[in-house]
Structure 1
Amino acid sequence: MIYKVYYQASNKDVPVREKTKTLYMEGESERDVRKKLADREFNIEFVQAVSGAYLEYEQQNEDYKVLEI
């Protein structure tokens, strides 16, 4: 399943909506995705499963790339 991860680039900064970034990642569950990203210095705000029409819409975005770890 594909997950959309909302995060801040540094876990030392206070979250600011305008600085929130996203990435797409394949995983078995939300816990699996968080575990794969644990070694990075991200402040993960939200992990959302993406499927169906929502996934098709996201795939049309030019910034859509699935991160493989």
Structure 2
Amino acid sequence: MMYKVYYQEDKYEVPVREKTKTIFLQANSEREARQLLKDRQINIEFVQRVEGPYYEYEKQQEYFKVTEIR
């Protein structure tokens, strides 16, 4: 499954919408997505499953790039 992760670059930074970044990654669950990112020094705000028409929409965007983490 594909997940979109919203995060702040600094682990201790308070979430500010204008500074929020996103990455896409493959994982079997939201929990696994969070586990894959646990070693990064980022502040995860939200993990969202991307599927169906929403996934098709995201794939067409210029910023869409799946991050490989293993």
Report the TM-score when normalising by structure 2: 0.96
Give the letter for the 1:66 counterpart.
V
Q: What number of residue pairs does the alignment pair up?
A: 69
Q: TM-score of the superposition, structure 1-length normalised?
A: 0.97
Q: Percent identity?
A: 59
Structure 1 runs (4+) deviating above 4 angstroms are none
**Alpha-carbon deviations, 1:14-66, whole Å to 9, x = none?**
11110000110000000000000000001000000000000000001011000
> Which 5+ residue runs of structure 1 have no aligned equivalent?
none
The structural deviation recorded for 1:12 is 1.6
Report the counterpart of residue 33 of structure 2 in structure 1.
33
Tell me the distance in 1 between the aligned counterparts of 2:61 and 2:21.
14
Counterpart residue type for residue 14 of structure 2: V
Q: Does 1:56 align with 2:56?
A: yes
**Structure 2 unmatched ranges of 5 or more:** none
